[in-house]
Structure 1
């Protein structure tokens, strides 16, 4: 299991770096005014939270949540520094919602079925 966790950690870091590169690229011809990008933000951060939670046994609230929220805020700050992107509190909120949805779904619902499949 330690080798699997190491691979998952490397995958997480790779995806975080790919996400950073994607977030800082100029966008052309994509309509972001319809709000569908917020769903993408939530799904990406749901996925990041899932992968990070599997990759490390560290505390969700003390370590994983602050790390993921700092990453989301950092992206928004870096986007504000580019001439082609902008800071969006709504994007950051969608990131946070994705992480919290993961926690609610896994920790409160699915984990019970896996830990106690018959009741």
Structure 2
């Protein structure tokens, strides 16, 4: 599949993806600790919310830091998920859930897999 040159340039814009990654980290952290109802649409299942959030983080990581491979982001993002769960365990309105951490890891794996498939199908070389 041949994509327009403008898409290639957008995908190569690592600063954009890194900025979106940082915004996402802050947003996910806030959502993870707020006691207020979510001001944004969310899935009925908390596990789906975890899966989608970490899938997004993995995709942004793949675009923002294309040379990292899978293992470092998997470890760092899983560590972030664990830190969120540990932090939630000390709040009166949240609990630690190992199943949430599992959903995070599944989301990371799906996100990386989707990006790998995208790069393979389009012929785009992500390493800049």
Provide the TM-score with structure 2 as the length reference: 0.74
The answer as to 2:54 corresponding to 1:59 is: no
User: Which moved further from structure 2: 98-107 or 88-97?
Assistant: 98-107
Q: What pairs with 1:1-119 in structure 2 (closer than 5 Å)?
A: 4-27=13-36, 36-107=45-116, 109-115=117-123
Alpha-carbon offset, residue 60 of structure 1:
2.8
Tell me if the contact between 1:80 and 1:86 (Cα under 8 Å) persists in the aligned partners.
yes
**Partner in structure 2 of residue 32 of structure 1:** none
What RMSD over aligned residues (CA atoms) do the two structures have, in Å?
2.5
Task: Identify, as 1 or 2, the structure richer in helix.
Answer: 1
How many residue pairs align between the two structures?
A: 110
Deviations along 1:30-86, one digit per CA (max 9) or x if unpaired, are xxxxx7221121111111100111011232333211111111010000000111111
Give the TM-score taking structure 1 as reference length. 0.79
**Cα distance in 1, alignment partners of residues 32 and 87 from structure 2:** 9
Q: Match of 1:86, SS?
A: coil
**Mind listing any 5+ residue stretches in structure 1 that lack a counterpart?**
29-34
Task: Return the alpha-carbon distance in structure 1 between the equivalents of residues 70 and 30 of structure 2.
Answer: 27
The structure with higher relative contact order (CA 8 Å, sep 6+) is: 2
Unaligned runs of 5+ in 2: 1-8, 38-43
